[in-house]
Protein backbone atom coordinates (compact mmCIF):
# COMPACT_ATOMS: atom_id res chain seq x y z
CA UNK A 1 0.00 0.00 0.00
CA UNK A 2 1.05 3.54 -0.78
CA UNK A 3 1.79 4.71 2.71
CA UNK A 4 4.07 1.83 3.61
CA UNK A 5 5.76 2.07 0.28
CA UNK A 6 6.77 5.47 0.93
CA UNK A 7 8.01 4.87 4.39
CA UNK A 8 10.31 2.32 2.72
CA UNK A 9 11.45 5.05 0.34
CA UNK A 10 12.16 7.38 3.20
CA UNK A 11 14.27 4.73 4.94
CA UNK A 12 16.23 4.20 1.79
CA UNK A 13 16.86 7.92 1.60
CA UNK A 14 18.01 8.02 5.17
CA UNK A 15 20.78 5.61 4.36
CA UNK A 16 22.06 7.97 1.68
CA UNK A 17 25.79 7.64 1.19
CA UNK A 18 25.57 4.03 2.26
CA UNK A 19 26.11 3.07 -1.37
CA UNK A 20 24.06 0.44 -3.17
CA UNK A 21 20.63 1.08 -1.66
CA UNK A 22 20.46 4.76 -2.42
CA UNK A 23 21.18 4.06 -6.07
CA UNK A 24 18.27 1.66 -6.35
CA UNK A 25 15.66 3.98 -4.88
CA UNK A 26 15.83 7.47 -6.36
CA UNK A 27 15.84 10.26 -3.81
CA UNK A 28 12.49 11.97 -3.44
CA UNK A 29 12.26 15.41 -4.97
CA UNK A 30 11.74 18.03 -2.30
CA UNK A 31 8.92 20.51 -2.75
CA UNK A 32 8.86 23.49 -0.40
CA UNK A 33 5.52 25.29 -0.13
CA UNK A 34 5.30 28.77 1.41
CA UNK A 35 1.88 29.67 2.78
CA UNK A 36 -1.22 27.92 4.13
CA UNK A 37 -3.86 30.20 2.66
CA UNK A 38 -6.21 29.48 -0.23
CA UNK A 39 -3.51 28.70 -2.77
CA UNK A 40 -1.36 26.59 -0.45
CA UNK A 41 -4.29 24.68 1.05
CA UNK A 42 -5.69 23.88 -2.37
CA UNK A 43 -2.28 22.63 -3.57
CA UNK A 44 -1.98 20.35 -0.54
CA UNK A 45 -5.52 19.03 -0.80
CA UNK A 46 -5.10 18.12 -4.45
CA UNK A 47 -1.57 16.73 -4.37
CA UNK A 48 -1.52 12.92 -4.41
CA UNK A 49 1.82 11.96 -5.93
CA UNK A 50 3.80 10.11 -3.24
CA UNK A 51 7.10 10.51 -5.10
CA UNK A 52 7.51 13.96 -3.59
CA UNK A 53 8.57 15.02 -0.17
CA UNK A 54 6.79 18.25 0.78
CA UNK A 55 7.75 20.75 3.45
CA UNK A 56 5.23 23.46 4.23
CA UNK A 57 6.48 26.67 5.81
CA UNK A 58 3.95 29.20 7.08
CA UNK A 59 3.62 31.45 10.13
CA UNK A 60 0.05 30.19 10.45
CA UNK A 61 -0.63 26.53 11.21
CA UNK A 62 -4.21 26.80 10.01
CA UNK A 63 -6.17 27.70 6.90
CA UNK A 64 -8.75 30.50 7.09
CA UNK A 65 -11.96 30.54 5.09
CA UNK A 66 -11.66 34.27 4.32
CA UNK A 67 -15.08 34.82 2.71
CA UNK A 68 -16.63 34.33 6.16
CA UNK A 69 -14.26 36.72 7.99
CA UNK A 70 -16.75 39.61 7.78
CA UNK A 71 -19.32 37.35 9.47
CA UNK A 72 -16.94 37.01 12.44
CA UNK A 73 -16.69 40.76 13.02
CA UNK A 74 -20.14 41.05 14.55
CA UNK A 75 -20.54 37.56 15.93
CA UNK A 76 -22.64 35.85 13.25
CA UNK A 77 -19.97 33.15 13.02
CA UNK A 78 -17.31 32.19 15.58
CA UNK A 79 -13.64 32.64 14.65
CA UNK A 80 -12.81 29.01 15.39
CA UNK A 81 -15.43 27.79 12.96
CA UNK A 82 -13.66 29.15 9.89
CA UNK A 83 -10.14 27.91 10.72
CA UNK A 84 -8.92 24.44 9.76
CA UNK A 85 -5.63 23.20 11.29
CA UNK A 86 -3.21 22.47 8.46
CA UNK A 87 -2.10 19.29 10.20
CA UNK A 88 -5.66 17.96 9.86
CA UNK A 89 -5.31 18.36 6.11
CA UNK A 90 -1.80 16.89 5.93
CA UNK A 91 -2.55 13.79 7.96
CA UNK A 92 -5.13 12.61 5.44
CA UNK A 93 -2.63 12.56 2.57
CA UNK A 94 -0.68 9.67 1.11
CA UNK A 95 2.17 12.11 0.46
CA UNK A 96 5.10 12.73 2.78
CA UNK A 97 4.28 16.24 4.07
CA UNK A 98 5.80 18.08 7.01
CA UNK A 99 5.01 21.49 8.46
CA UNK A 100 7.13 24.20 10.10
CA UNK A 101 5.50 27.17 11.77
CA UNK A 102 7.81 29.90 10.53
CA UNK A 103 7.97 32.68 8.00
CA UNK A 104 10.28 32.66 5.05
CA UNK A 105 12.48 35.76 5.20
CA UNK A 106 14.70 35.25 2.18
CA UNK A 107 14.80 33.20 -1.01
CA UNK A 108 18.13 32.21 -2.55
CA UNK A 109 17.32 30.80 -6.01
CA UNK A 110 20.98 30.26 -6.96
CA UNK A 111 21.56 27.79 -4.14
CA UNK A 112 17.96 26.52 -4.09
CA UNK A 113 17.55 27.45 -0.46
CA UNK A 114 15.17 29.48 1.64
CA UNK A 115 15.81 31.10 5.00
CA UNK A 116 13.17 31.02 7.71
CA UNK A 117 12.42 32.48 11.11
CA UNK A 118 10.21 30.60 13.55
CA UNK A 119 7.24 32.64 14.64
CA UNK A 120 6.38 30.51 17.64
CA UNK A 121 6.34 32.52 20.81
CA UNK A 122 9.65 31.54 22.44
CA UNK A 123 10.23 33.71 25.48
CA UNK A 124 13.41 32.09 26.63
CA UNK A 125 15.06 30.92 23.44
CA UNK A 126 14.84 34.00 21.27
CA UNK A 127 14.14 33.58 17.57
CA UNK A 128 14.81 30.28 15.86
CA UNK A 129 16.33 30.58 12.41
CA UNK A 130 16.88 27.84 9.89
CA UNK A 131 17.40 27.17 6.18
CA UNK A 132 15.59 24.70 3.93
CA UNK A 133 16.80 23.28 0.60
CA UNK A 134 14.37 22.65 -2.21
CA UNK A 135 14.14 21.10 -5.63
CA UNK A 136 10.88 22.93 -6.31
CA UNK A 137 9.72 26.06 -4.51
CA UNK A 138 6.07 27.12 -4.46
CA UNK A 139 5.48 30.67 -3.30
CA UNK A 140 1.93 31.24 -2.07
CA UNK A 141 2.36 33.83 0.67
CA UNK A 142 -0.57 36.06 -0.29
CA UNK A 143 -0.48 39.84 0.03
CA UNK A 144 -0.72 42.43 2.80
CA UNK A 145 -2.92 45.45 3.42
CA UNK A 146 -2.06 48.57 1.50
CA UNK A 147 -2.23 51.90 3.32
CA UNK A 148 -1.01 53.89 0.29
CA UNK A 149 1.28 55.58 2.84
CA UNK A 150 -1.65 57.51 4.27
CA UNK A 151 -0.49 59.02 7.59
CA UNK A 152 -1.92 57.50 10.75
CA UNK A 153 -3.55 54.48 9.11
CA UNK A 154 -1.25 51.84 10.61
CA UNK A 155 -1.59 53.29 14.10
CA UNK A 156 -5.32 54.05 14.21
CA UNK A 157 -7.19 51.70 11.90
CA UNK A 158 -8.50 48.19 12.03
CA UNK A 159 -7.86 45.82 9.12
CA UNK A 160 -9.71 42.68 8.14
CA UNK A 161 -7.29 40.13 6.77
CA UNK A 162 -6.70 37.52 9.47
CA UNK A 163 -8.76 35.81 12.15
CA UNK A 164 -7.13 37.95 14.85
CA UNK A 165 -8.23 41.08 13.00
CA UNK A 166 -11.85 39.89 12.92
CA UNK A 167 -11.77 39.07 16.62
CA UNK A 168 -10.27 42.45 17.50
CA UNK A 169 -12.97 44.19 15.47
CA UNK A 170 -15.69 42.20 17.19
CA UNK A 171 -14.35 43.04 20.63
CA UNK A 172 -13.96 46.68 19.68
CA UNK A 173 -17.53 46.93 18.30
CA UNK A 174 -19.03 45.50 21.46
CA UNK A 175 -16.77 47.57 23.72
CA UNK A 176 -17.88 50.68 21.84
CA UNK A 177 -21.48 50.05 22.84
CA UNK A 178 -20.51 49.38 26.45
CA UNK A 179 -18.34 52.47 26.59
CA UNK A 180 -21.03 54.66 25.03
CA UNK A 181 -23.48 53.39 27.64
CA UNK A 182 -21.40 54.58 30.61
CA UNK A 183 -23.20 57.24 32.68
CA UNK A 184 -20.42 59.87 32.74
CA UNK A 185 -20.32 60.73 29.05
CA UNK A 186 -21.77 63.67 27.18
CA UNK A 187 -24.01 63.12 24.15
CA UNK A 188 -21.19 64.42 21.97
CA UNK A 189 -18.77 61.83 23.32
CA UNK A 190 -21.27 59.01 22.89
CA UNK A 191 -21.80 60.01 19.26
CA UNK A 192 -18.08 60.02 18.61
CA UNK A 193 -17.62 56.53 20.08
CA UNK A 194 -20.49 55.17 18.01
CA UNK A 195 -19.30 56.64 14.73
CA UNK A 196 -18.03 53.68 12.69
CA UNK A 197 -16.11 54.57 9.55
CA UNK A 198 -15.27 52.15 6.75
CA UNK A 199 -12.68 53.17 4.19
CA UNK A 200 -13.06 51.36 0.88
CA UNK A 201 -16.28 50.35 -0.90
CA UNK A 202 -15.08 46.97 -2.15
CA UNK A 203 -16.76 43.70 -1.19
CA UNK A 204 -15.09 43.52 2.25
CA UNK A 205 -15.91 47.10 3.27
CA UNK A 206 -19.48 46.80 2.02
CA UNK A 207 -20.04 43.49 3.77
CA UNK A 208 -18.70 44.83 7.05
CA UNK A 209 -21.00 47.88 6.80
CA UNK A 210 -23.93 45.53 6.20
CA UNK A 211 -22.95 43.24 9.10
CA UNK A 212 -22.63 46.20 11.45
CA UNK A 213 -25.97 47.64 10.37
CA UNK A 214 -27.67 44.25 10.93
CA UNK A 215 -26.05 43.95 14.32
CA UNK A 216 -27.34 47.38 15.34
CA UNK A 217 -30.85 46.63 14.07
CA UNK A 218 -31.21 43.13 15.37
CA UNK A 219 -29.34 43.13 18.67
CA UNK A 220 -28.20 46.60 19.73
CA UNK A 221 -31.73 48.04 19.66
CA UNK A 222 -32.72 45.49 22.27
CA UNK A 223 -29.53 45.32 24.31
CA UNK A 224 -28.44 48.98 24.27
CA UNK A 225 -31.74 50.88 23.83
CA UNK A 226 -30.36 54.14 25.27
CA UNK A 227 -27.63 54.60 22.71
CA UNK A 228 -29.11 52.94 19.64
CA UNK A 229 -30.07 56.22 17.98
CA UNK A 230 -26.57 57.64 18.28
CA UNK A 231 -24.98 55.04 16.00
CA UNK A 232 -23.63 56.27 12.70
CA UNK A 233 -22.02 54.22 9.93
CA UNK A 234 -20.03 56.03 7.23
CA UNK A 235 -18.61 54.36 4.13
CA UNK A 236 -15.89 56.32 2.30
CA UNK A 237 -15.11 55.39 -1.29
CA UNK A 238 -12.54 57.21 -3.44
CA UNK A 239 -14.11 56.40 -6.82
CA UNK A 240 -17.60 57.13 -8.13
CA UNK A 241 -19.25 53.91 -6.98
CA UNK A 242 -19.05 51.16 -4.40
CA UNK A 243 -18.69 47.54 -5.58
CA UNK A 244 -16.97 48.64 -8.78
CA UNK A 245 -16.15 45.12 -9.88
CA UNK A 246 -19.82 44.14 -9.95
CA UNK A 247 -22.59 44.73 -12.47
CA UNK A 248 -24.16 48.23 -12.45
CA UNK A 249 -27.47 46.77 -11.22
CA UNK A 250 -25.77 45.44 -8.09
CA UNK A 251 -23.91 48.69 -7.45
CA UNK A 252 -27.13 50.69 -7.76
CA UNK A 253 -29.09 48.32 -5.56
CA UNK A 254 -26.41 48.42 -2.85
CA UNK A 255 -26.08 52.20 -2.92
CA UNK A 256 -29.85 52.64 -2.69
CA UNK A 257 -30.26 50.06 0.04
CA UNK A 258 -27.53 51.65 2.16
CA UNK A 259 -29.04 55.09 1.50
CA UNK A 260 -32.45 53.98 2.79
CA UNK A 261 -30.90 52.38 5.84
CA UNK A 262 -29.04 55.52 6.84
CA UNK A 263 -25.55 54.22 6.07
CA UNK A 264 -23.77 57.35 4.89
CA UNK A 265 -22.05 56.42 1.62
CA UNK A 266 -19.62 59.18 0.61
CA UNK A 267 -18.42 58.65 -2.96
CA UNK A 268 -15.36 60.37 -4.42
CA UNK A 269 -14.00 60.81 -0.93
CA UNK A 270 -10.27 60.27 -0.40
CA UNK A 271 -8.83 59.81 3.07
CA UNK A 272 -5.79 62.06 3.56
CA UNK A 273 -4.93 61.21 7.15
CA UNK A 274 -6.14 59.84 10.46
CA UNK A 275 -5.21 60.83 13.99
CA UNK A 276 -6.45 59.46 17.30
CA UNK A 277 -9.68 61.41 17.14
CA UNK A 278 -10.44 62.47 13.62
CA UNK A 279 -10.40 61.19 10.08
CA UNK A 280 -9.62 63.71 7.33
CA UNK A 281 -10.92 63.48 3.78
CA UNK A 282 -10.66 65.37 0.54
CA UNK A 283 -13.46 65.41 -2.03
CA UNK A 284 -12.24 64.31 -5.44
CA UNK A 285 -14.42 66.77 -7.35
CA UNK A 286 -13.96 70.14 -5.65
CA UNK A 287 -10.98 69.32 -3.44
CA UNK A 288 -12.92 70.29 -0.32
CA UNK A 289 -11.32 68.91 2.84
CA UNK A 290 -13.05 67.98 6.07
CA UNK A 291 -12.33 66.23 9.37
CA UNK A 292 -14.77 64.13 11.35
CA UNK A 293 -14.50 62.61 14.84
CA UNK A 294 -14.74 58.82 14.84
CA UNK A 295 -14.86 55.92 17.26
CA UNK A 296 -13.56 53.16 15.03
CA UNK A 297 -12.17 52.90 11.47
CA UNK A 298 -11.90 49.83 9.27
CA UNK A 299 -9.34 50.28 6.50
CA UNK A 300 -10.17 48.09 3.54
CA UNK A 301 -8.78 49.62 0.37
CA UNK A 302 -6.77 46.93 -1.32
CA UNK A 303 -3.60 44.92 -1.12
CA UNK A 304 0.11 45.24 -1.83
CA UNK A 305 3.13 42.91 -1.92
CA UNK A 306 4.69 41.53 1.26
CA UNK A 307 8.30 42.52 2.09
CA UNK A 308 9.55 39.01 1.18
CA UNK A 309 8.06 39.31 -2.31
CA UNK A 310 9.26 42.90 -2.79
CA UNK A 311 12.78 41.80 -1.89
CA UNK A 312 12.63 38.72 -4.13
CA UNK A 313 11.34 40.76 -7.08
CA UNK A 314 14.26 43.15 -6.65
CA UNK A 315 16.67 40.19 -6.52
CA UNK A 316 15.44 38.70 -9.79
CA UNK A 317 15.03 41.95 -11.68
CA UNK A 318 11.27 42.33 -11.48
CA UNK A 319 11.77 45.78 -9.97
CA UNK A 320 8.78 47.78 -8.87
CA UNK A 321 5.98 45.42 -9.76
CA UNK A 322 2.92 44.92 -7.56
CA UNK A 323 3.08 41.13 -7.77
CA UNK A 324 5.48 38.41 -8.84
CA UNK A 325 5.21 37.74 -12.58
CA UNK A 326 4.80 34.15 -13.73
CA UNK A 327 4.13 32.49 -17.07
CA UNK A 328 0.84 30.69 -17.73
CA UNK A 329 2.20 27.55 -16.08
CA UNK A 330 2.62 29.59 -12.88
CA UNK A 331 6.42 29.43 -13.10
CA UNK A 332 8.19 32.58 -11.94
CA UNK A 333 9.63 34.23 -15.06
CA UNK A 334 13.15 32.93 -15.64
CA UNK A 335 13.00 29.95 -13.25
CA UNK A 336 12.14 26.35 -14.05
CA UNK A 337 11.69 25.21 -10.47
CA UNK A 338 9.99 28.16 -8.74
CA UNK A 339 6.24 28.58 -8.93
CA UNK A 340 4.04 31.33 -7.56
CA UNK A 341 0.27 31.62 -7.27
CA UNK A 342 -2.56 33.39 -5.52
CA UNK A 343 -2.49 36.99 -4.34
CA UNK A 344 1.31 37.33 -4.42
CA UNK A 345 1.55 36.47 -8.11
CA UNK A 346 0.23 37.61 -11.44
CA UNK A 347 0.28 35.76 -14.75
CA UNK A 348 2.20 37.51 -17.47
CA UNK A 349 -0.12 36.64 -20.32
CA UNK A 350 1.64 36.48 -23.69
CA UNK A 351 0.50 38.86 -26.38
CA UNK A 352 -0.60 37.38 -29.70
CA UNK A 353 1.05 40.25 -31.54
CA UNK A 354 4.45 39.39 -30.05
CA UNK A 355 4.28 35.83 -31.33
CA UNK A 356 2.34 36.46 -34.52
CA UNK A 357 5.05 35.33 -36.97
CA UNK A 358 5.54 32.07 -35.10
CA UNK A 359 1.80 31.41 -34.85
CA UNK A 360 1.48 32.00 -38.58
CA UNK A 361 4.32 29.63 -39.38
CA UNK A 362 2.85 26.82 -37.29
CA UNK A 363 -0.62 27.29 -38.72
CA UNK A 364 0.68 27.30 -42.28
CA UNK A 365 1.13 23.57 -42.37
CA UNK A 366 1.89 23.30 -46.09
CA UNK A 367 4.44 26.13 -45.93
CA UNK A 368 2.69 27.99 -48.70
CA UNK A 369 3.16 31.40 -47.10
CA UNK A 370 -0.59 31.88 -46.88
CA UNK A 371 -3.29 30.54 -44.58
CA UNK A 372 -6.50 29.03 -45.82
CA UNK A 373 -9.62 29.36 -43.69
CA UNK A 374 -9.24 25.65 -43.01
CA UNK A 375 -5.66 26.01 -41.76
CA UNK A 376 -6.71 28.92 -39.55
CA UNK A 377 -9.68 26.97 -38.21
CA UNK A 378 -7.60 23.90 -37.47
CA UNK A 379 -5.17 25.75 -35.26
CA UNK A 380 -7.75 27.91 -33.53
CA UNK A 381 -8.10 25.60 -30.53
CA UNK A 382 -4.37 25.64 -29.96
CA UNK A 383 -4.24 29.41 -30.35
CA UNK A 384 -7.11 29.87 -27.89
CA UNK A 385 -5.49 27.63 -25.35
CA UNK A 386 -2.21 29.49 -25.42
CA UNK A 387 -3.83 32.92 -25.82
CA UNK A 388 -7.18 32.94 -23.99
CA UNK A 389 -7.77 36.52 -25.15
CA UNK A 390 -8.56 35.16 -28.63
CA UNK A 391 -11.45 33.12 -27.29
CA UNK A 392 -12.68 36.10 -25.29
CA UNK A 393 -12.46 38.29 -28.37
CA UNK A 394 -14.49 35.87 -30.48
CA UNK A 395 -17.05 35.52 -27.70
CA UNK A 396 -17.35 39.21 -26.86
CA UNK A 397 -17.75 40.27 -30.47
CA UNK A 398 -20.83 38.14 -30.63
CA UNK A 399 -21.15 35.53 -33.31
CA UNK A 400 -17.79 36.41 -34.83
CA UNK A 401 -16.21 33.47 -36.50
CA UNK A 402 -13.10 32.97 -38.55
CA UNK A 403 -14.77 33.62 -41.86
CA UNK A 404 -15.87 37.04 -40.58
CA UNK A 405 -12.38 37.78 -39.31
CA UNK A 406 -10.84 36.82 -42.63
CA UNK A 407 -13.36 38.86 -44.63
CA UNK A 408 -12.77 41.88 -42.48
CA UNK A 409 -9.00 41.61 -42.69
CA UNK A 410 -8.97 41.21 -46.47
CA UNK A 411 -11.58 43.80 -47.31
CA UNK A 412 -12.43 43.83 -51.03
CA UNK A 413 -9.71 41.29 -51.80
CA UNK A 414 -11.83 38.68 -50.03
CA UNK A 415 -13.90 38.32 -53.19
CA UNK A 416 -10.95 36.88 -55.06
CA UNK A 417 -9.33 34.70 -52.42
CA UNK A 418 -9.93 33.86 -48.79
CA UNK A 419 -6.29 33.06 -48.08
CA UNK A 420 -4.42 35.27 -45.62
CA UNK A 421 -0.85 36.42 -45.93
CA UNK A 422 1.03 37.34 -42.78
CA UNK A 423 0.02 41.01 -42.91
CA UNK A 424 -3.64 40.11 -43.30
CA UNK A 425 -3.33 37.56 -40.51
CA UNK A 426 -1.95 40.31 -38.28
CA UNK A 427 -4.84 42.58 -39.22
CA UNK A 428 -7.35 39.84 -38.43
CA UNK A 429 -5.97 39.43 -34.91
CA UNK A 430 -4.89 43.02 -34.32
CA UNK A 431 -7.45 43.72 -31.61
CA UNK A 432 -7.42 40.49 -29.64
CA UNK A 433 -4.77 41.59 -27.15
CA UNK A 434 -7.06 44.33 -25.89
CA UNK A 435 -9.06 41.54 -24.24
CA UNK A 436 -6.26 40.67 -21.82
CA UNK A 437 -7.12 41.19 -18.18
CA UNK A 438 -5.24 40.38 -15.00
CA UNK A 439 -7.00 37.85 -12.84
CA UNK A 440 -8.53 39.29 -9.65
CA UNK A 441 -6.92 38.65 -6.25
CA UNK A 442 -9.60 36.26 -5.04
CA UNK A 443 -9.91 32.97 -3.21
CA UNK A 444 -11.52 31.56 -6.31
CA UNK A 445 -8.42 32.23 -8.42
CA UNK A 446 -5.99 31.05 -5.71
CA UNK A 447 -8.02 27.89 -5.15
CA UNK A 448 -8.09 26.97 -8.85
CA UNK A 449 -4.39 27.73 -9.25
CA UNK A 450 -3.51 25.49 -6.30
CA UNK A 451 -5.52 22.62 -7.77
CA UNK A 452 -3.98 23.18 -11.23
CA UNK A 453 -0.43 23.15 -9.89
CA UNK A 454 -1.05 20.04 -7.77
CA UNK A 455 -2.30 18.31 -10.88
CA UNK A 456 0.88 19.28 -12.75
CA UNK A 457 2.94 17.76 -9.94
CA UNK A 458 0.72 14.69 -9.86
CA UNK A 459 1.34 14.10 -13.55
CA UNK A 460 4.99 15.18 -13.66
CA UNK A 461 6.38 11.63 -14.09
CA UNK A 462 3.91 10.57 -16.72
CA UNK A 463 4.75 13.73 -18.58
CA UNK A 464 8.47 13.18 -18.29
CA UNK A 465 8.08 9.77 -19.91
CA UNK A 466 6.20 11.37 -22.74
CA UNK A 467 7.86 14.75 -22.99
CA UNK A 468 6.45 15.58 -26.40
CA UNK A 469 2.87 15.68 -25.23
CA UNK A 470 0.30 17.41 -27.38
CA UNK A 471 1.84 20.05 -29.66
CA UNK A 472 1.43 23.61 -28.38
CA UNK A 473 2.51 26.99 -29.51
CA UNK A 474 5.77 28.20 -28.03
CA UNK A 475 6.28 25.15 -25.92
CA UNK A 476 8.82 26.99 -23.73
CA UNK A 477 9.93 23.54 -22.58
CA UNK A 478 6.72 23.05 -20.66
CA UNK A 479 4.34 22.06 -23.41
CA UNK A 480 3.51 18.83 -21.58
CA UNK A 481 0.95 20.68 -19.49
CA UNK A 482 -1.92 22.85 -20.48
CA UNK A 483 -1.45 26.42 -19.34
CA UNK A 484 -3.56 27.53 -16.38
CA UNK A 485 -7.07 28.61 -17.32
CA UNK A 486 -9.37 30.39 -14.89
CA UNK A 487 -13.04 29.50 -14.76
CA UNK A 488 -15.09 32.27 -13.22
CA UNK A 489 -17.95 30.79 -11.22
CA UNK A 490 -19.50 34.08 -10.19
CA UNK A 491 -19.33 36.16 -7.06
CA UNK A 492 -21.48 37.29 -4.15
CA UNK A 493 -21.91 40.56 -2.31
CA UNK A 494 -23.84 40.12 0.95
CA UNK A 495 -25.73 43.34 1.61
CA UNK A 496 -27.33 42.67 4.98
CA UNK A 497 -30.90 41.99 6.07
CA UNK A 498 -30.64 38.46 4.69
CA UNK A 499 -30.19 39.85 1.20
CA UNK A 500 -27.29 39.07 -1.08
CA UNK A 501 -26.36 40.13 -4.60
CA UNK A 502 -25.10 37.36 -6.83
CA UNK A 503 -23.40 37.82 -10.17
CA UNK A 504 -23.08 34.53 -11.97
CA UNK A 505 -21.41 33.72 -15.30
CA UNK A 506 -23.25 34.98 -18.35
CA UNK A 507 -24.15 38.28 -16.64
CA UNK A 508 -26.83 36.58 -14.63
CA UNK A 509 -27.64 38.90 -11.74
CA UNK A 510 -29.85 38.04 -8.83
CA UNK A 511 -30.43 40.15 -5.74
CA UNK A 512 -32.44 39.40 -2.65
CA UNK A 513 -33.45 36.74 -0.17
CA UNK A 514 -33.19 33.83 -2.61
CA UNK A 515 -29.55 34.69 -3.36
CA UNK A 516 -28.94 34.80 0.36
CA UNK A 517 -29.98 31.16 0.50
CA UNK A 518 -27.73 30.41 -2.44
CA UNK A 519 -24.93 32.15 -0.50
CA UNK A 520 -25.56 30.00 2.59
CA UNK A 521 -25.48 26.80 0.59
CA UNK A 522 -22.46 27.68 -1.55
CA UNK A 523 -20.41 28.77 1.46
CA UNK A 524 -21.42 25.71 3.44
CA UNK A 525 -20.43 23.45 0.55
CA UNK A 526 -17.10 25.21 -0.03
CA UNK A 527 -15.88 24.51 3.51
CA UNK A 528 -12.61 22.55 3.47
CA UNK A 529 -13.72 19.95 6.02
CA UNK A 530 -16.88 18.45 7.49
CA UNK A 531 -15.73 19.78 10.84
CA UNK A 532 -15.73 23.45 9.82
CA UNK A 533 -18.91 22.88 7.80
CA UNK A 534 -20.72 21.62 10.89
CA UNK A 535 -19.38 24.48 12.99
CA UNK A 536 -20.34 27.19 10.50
CA UNK A 537 -23.84 25.84 9.95
CA UNK A 538 -24.48 25.52 13.67
CA UNK A 539 -23.22 29.10 14.18
CA UNK A 540 -25.75 30.29 11.61
CA UNK A 541 -28.55 28.38 13.35
CA UNK A 542 -27.50 29.65 16.77
CA UNK A 543 -27.64 33.22 15.56
CA UNK A 544 -31.11 32.72 14.00
CA UNK A 545 -32.42 31.30 17.26
CA UNK A 546 -30.57 33.15 20.02
CA UNK A 547 -29.09 36.22 18.29
CA UNK A 548 -25.44 37.19 18.46
CA UNK A 549 -23.14 36.60 21.39
CA UNK A 550 -22.22 40.05 22.70
CA UNK A 551 -19.72 39.22 25.43
CA UNK A 552 -16.70 41.27 24.45
Site for Mg ion, rule CB under 5 A: 35, 37-40, 64, 66, 140, 345, 364, 366, 368
Q: Which does 104 bind (CB under 5 to 8 A by kind): ligand FAD, Mg ion, none?
A: ligand FAD
Give the CA radius of gyration of the chain: 27
Residue with nearest beta carbon to ligand FAD: 37
| Residue 58 engages ligand FAD in binding (rule: CB under 6 A) | yes
Site for ligand FAD in 425-444 (CB under 6 A): 441-444
The distance of closest approach from Cβ of residue 11 to Mg ion in the complex, given in angstroms and rounded to an integer, is 31
Q: Where are the alpha helices (DSSP H) in 15-105?
A: 20-24, 38-46, 69-73, 86-91
Site for ligand FAD in 328-367 (CB under 6 A): 342-344
Nearer to ligand FAD, 103 or 328 (CB): 103
From candidates 21, 30, 51, 60, binder to ligand FAD by CB under 6 A? 60
Gap between the Cα atoms of 316 and 345, Å rounded: 14
Using CA atoms, how far residue 62 sits from 31, 76, 471, in Å, is 19, 21, 41
| Residue 107 engages ligand FAD in binding (rule: CB under 6 A) | no
| Residue 446 engages ligand FAD in binding (rule: CB under 6 A) | yes
Pattern of binders to ligand FAD over 13-42, x per CB under 6 A? Answer: ---------------------xxxxxxx--
The distance of closest approach from Cβ of residue 86 to ligand FAD in the complex, given in angstroms and rounded to an integer, is 8
Nearer to ligand FAD, 413 or 518 (CB): 518
Q: Which does 364 bind (CB under 5 to 8 A by kind): Mg ion, ligand FAD, none?
A: Mg ion
| Residue 70 engages ligand FAD in binding (rule: CB under 6 A) | yes
Gap between the Cα atoms of 76 and 99, Å rounded: 32
Question: Residue 429: helix, strand or coil by DSSP?
Answer: coil
DSSP code for 501:
E
Q: Which does 199 bind (CB under 5 to 8 A by kind): Mg ion, ligand FAD, none?
A: none
Angle, helices 248-261 vs 203-215, to 10°: value is: 30
Q: Which does 366 bind (CB under 5 to 8 A by kind): Mg ion, ligand FAD, none?
A: Mg ion
Gap between the Cα atoms of 481 and 470, Å rounded: 9
Q: Which does 235 bind (CB under 5 to 8 A by kind): Mg ion, ligand FAD, none?
A: none
| Paired residues of 138 in beta bridges | 33, 339
Nearer to ligand FAD, 421 or 491 (CB): 491
Nearer to ligand FAD, 12 or 456 (CB): 456
Residues 6 or more apart in contact with residue 64 via CB below 8 angstroms: 37, 82, 83, 162, 163
Count of residues near ligand FAD by CB under 6 A: 33
Gap between the Cα atoms of 273 and 292, Å rounded: 11
Q: Which of 252, 429, 270, 248 is nearest to 352 (CA)?
A: 429
From candidates 43, 55, 66, 339, binder to ligand FAD by CB under 6 A? 66
Gap between the Cα atoms of 361 and 357, Å rounded: 6
Q: Where are the alpha helices (DSSP H) in 74-202?
A: 86-91, 153-156, 163-180, 187-193
Residues near ligand FAD, by CB under 6 A: 34-40, 57-60, 66-67, 69-70, 103-104, 140-142, 160-161, 204, 306, 308, 342-344, 441-444, 446
Amino acid sequence: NGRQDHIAHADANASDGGGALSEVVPKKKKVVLLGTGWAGMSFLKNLNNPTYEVEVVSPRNFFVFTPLLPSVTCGKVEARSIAEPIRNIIIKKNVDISFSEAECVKIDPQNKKIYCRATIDSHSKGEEEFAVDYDYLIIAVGAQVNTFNTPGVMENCHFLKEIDDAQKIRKNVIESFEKASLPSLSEEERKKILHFVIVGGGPTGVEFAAELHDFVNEDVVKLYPKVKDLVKITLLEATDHILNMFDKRITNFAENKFGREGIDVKLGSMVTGINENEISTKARGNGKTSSTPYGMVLWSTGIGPRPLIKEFMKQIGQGNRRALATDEWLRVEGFDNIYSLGDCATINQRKVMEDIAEIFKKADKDNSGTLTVKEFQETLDDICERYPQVELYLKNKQKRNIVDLVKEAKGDAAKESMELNIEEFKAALSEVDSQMKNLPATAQVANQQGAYLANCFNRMEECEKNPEGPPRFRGTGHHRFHPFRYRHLGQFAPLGGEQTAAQLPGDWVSIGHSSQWLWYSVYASKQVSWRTRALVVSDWLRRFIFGRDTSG
